Structure 1
Amino acid sequence: MNTVKTVRELRAAVARARGEGKRIGFVPTMGNLHSGHAALVTKAAQRADFVVASIFVNPLQFGANEDLATYPRTLAADQARLLEAGCNLLFAPTVEEMYPSGTTAQTRVSVGQLSEGLCGASRPGHFEGVATVVNKLFNMVQPDLAVFGEKDYQQLAVIRTMVRDLNMPVQIFGEPTVRADDGLALSSRNGYLSPEQRQIAPAVYRTLCQLADGLRRGRRDYQALLDEGKTQLQSAGLRIDYLELRHALTLQPAMLDDRDLVLLLAAYLGNTRLIDNLYLHLDEPTA
């Protein structure tokens, strides 16, 4: 696996692969990789002949009081994990390479309605930063396909909409969330949890599963059900950012006749923000 740091080197390497008739797969990351990231690379390698991954801690998607300065940078360990997962080329640019005119002057990409609410409400400008950097990376790599994790459900919806609306010739694949044995969704930020907090954190997924079970058993008092989930999480020691039930495709608030739903949750455990979601399909009611 080669590692390149400039757009010129990246494009030259991809051009060589494409000249050999290879299908290009792409997995963008911010580094500090775990088994979930490795699964994305493995899936890309199954669908493509040449896999490019990127590691770039994107300042545009961090708010003023977020962890940009302290976000873990673990390049050597990440390179080893990518190689094992089947990556062919790593693009690890500097901020100056990605934003040569600075971040303030950078042209931005905004995906309207889907960026609003949920994480978009809690992290103003976050999805504009995500859409902008992914747009730039797609233009640099020009992949045939890209793979993203479903843990970041709203982010995946934003990217799919951007690709559709801007007629980008990139096929987007979402891959299921990879979880620890106790159900906690793997995340680079899990490393911020203390041992005591790590014991509490599985309550996030456990609560989602219990709410989904209630919906499958016929409960339609959505707000009361969500309030019960919030109470359960707060009792476990988490501070709720949001817990909502949305239409799985539009991310609009769930209606009683919606069949494809997604539970979406963000909560703080200490200073660590955890997010998770759970998709469910409800059967048509019987007469």
Structure 2
Amino acid sequence: MLLIKSRKQLKDHLSPLKKNGSLGLVPTMGALHIGHASLVERAVKENSSVVVSIFVNPTQFNNTEDLDNYPQTLTADIEILEKISDQIIVFAPNIQEMYTEKVVSDTYDFDGLDKVMEGAFREGHFNGVGTIVEALLNLVQPNKAYFGEKDYQQLQIIRKLAEIRNIPVEIIGCPIVREANGLAFSSRNERLSKKIRNEASFIYKTLITAKKKFGTKSATHVIEWASQQFKEHPDLELEYIQIAQADTLEPIINKHQDKKYRAFIAVYAEGVRLIDNIALN
């Protein structure tokens, strides 16, 4: 396992590797769990070399308290990665290394992908994501980069980023990994009490039922039904539930048989923000 903390050292190390096979990148903010491990495992299978970046990006946090509470567990993260492969390259820069001057994000035109759902509630969030992902893609220059579908909106935005910046990389979305009760794995889950962590399984159960209802009911009916269900779970504060086209993320108006849709949800539990989504057809 090689741990690199500077951009120059990483660039120098990767230069010869790029000539000898495929290079994969898995960007993370650390606090790794089974969901992250699944991305890394796939990257290791599909590439001759893999870089896992660990960087808590301040410009994608709207809430300073959320940033302050985000766990930084580099030693534990490396132990998880070593169990997957001792050939993984870990890139763990500090803020000054990634933001050489001011710690501010670039501004992007994501063609409206960033204006709905998460973007509507977290102003500037995706500019922060785009800034650091673009920097990593340009630095590592991977053949493939791997992202989880739990952050499906982010996945679509990163695909758009690669398109508008003409970055020659294959962006690969990987299935959501869930806890035994259905709750999507997230570093934030560790901040939940055992009781609420169990109750939060209701989020996925609601999405499963919404998918069934979407086969015969209108999107409006499904959204209203789901919103009503959360009123019976006061420990889970629904921020939004939205049904949108899978490719454009535009909220559904009329259902079309030739289009793919997903349901997206954001919920607060004990002050912790949880997101999830599901393909509806």
**What's 2:249 paired with?**
251
Which residue does the alignment assign to 1:270? 270
**Alignment partners' CA distance in 2, 1:65 and 1:137:** 23
Residues 71-110 of structure 1 mapped to structure 2, 5 A cutoff: 71-86=70-85, 88-104=88-104, 107-110=106-109
Check if 1:179 corresponds to 2:178: yes
**What whole-Å deviation, never above 9, does each CA across 1:219-241 have from its counterpart, x for those lacking one?**
12x21221111121231221111
Counting only pairs closer than 5 Å after superposition, residues 166-245 of structure 1 correspond to structure 2 as 166-216=165-215, 218-220=216-218, 222-237=219-234, 238-245=236-243
Runs of at least 5 residues in structure 1 that lack an aligned partner in the other structure: 282-287
Q: Distance in 2 between matches of 1:24 and 1:225?
A: 42
Distance (Å, rounded) in 2 between the aligned partners of 1:89 and 1:190: 27
Aligned-residue offset at 1:79 = 0.3
Consecutive aligned runs of 4 or more in structure 1 exceeding 3 Å deviation: 106-110
Q: 1:224 to 1:107 in 2, by over 3 A?
A: closer
Cα separation, partners in 2 of 1:59 and 1:65, compared to 1, 3 Å: closer
1:199 Cα shift? 1.6
Q: Is the 8 A contact 1:110 1:128 kept in 2?
A: no
Tell me if the contact between 1:110 and 1:132 (Cα under 8 Å) persists in the aligned partners: no
Amino acid at match of 2:4: V
Q: What is the rounded CA distance, in whole Å, between the counterparts of 2:171 and 2:65 in structure 1?
A: 28
- Whole-angstrom distance in 2 between the partners of 1:101 and 1:165: 24
Query: Structure 1 residues 107, 128: CA separation in 2 closer, same or farther (over 3 Å shift)?
Result: closer
Residue type of the partner of 2:147? F
Compute the displacement of 1:45 (Å).
1.0
Query: Given the alignment of the two structures, is residue 118 of structure 1 paired with residue 124 of structure 2, yes or no?
Result: no
Q: Tell me if the contact between 2:106 and 2:127 (Cα under 8 Å) persists in the aligned partners.
A: no
* Deviations 1:102-147 (CA, angstroms, capped at 9, x unpaired): 214x544442410011000111000000011000011111111100
> Could you say what secondary structure the match of 2:267 adopts?
strand
The offset of 1:256, in angstroms, is 1.7
Distance 2:108 2:224 in 1: 35
SS of residue in 2 equivalent to 1:178:
coil
Aligned to 1:51: 50
Give the Cα separation in 2 of the matches to 1:127 and 1:149.
Answer: 16
User: Which deviations, in whole Å up to 9, do the C-alpha atoms of 1:225-273 show, x marking residues without a partner?
Assistant: 2111112123122111110110111111122215411000001012010
- 1:153-199 C-alpha deviation (Å, 9 max, x unpaired): 10000000111122110001000000011100000000111112112
Q: CA RMSD in A?
A: 1.3
Superposition TM-score, scaled by structure 1 size: 0.93
Q: Secondary structure at the match of 1:38?
A: helix
Contact map agreement 2:106 2:128 (CA 8 A) in 1: no
Give 3-state SS (helix, strand or coil) of 2:232's partner: helix
How many residue pairs get aligned? The number is 277
- Aligned to 1:236, the other structure's residue is in SS state coil
Whichever residue aligns with residue 159 of structure 2, its letter is R
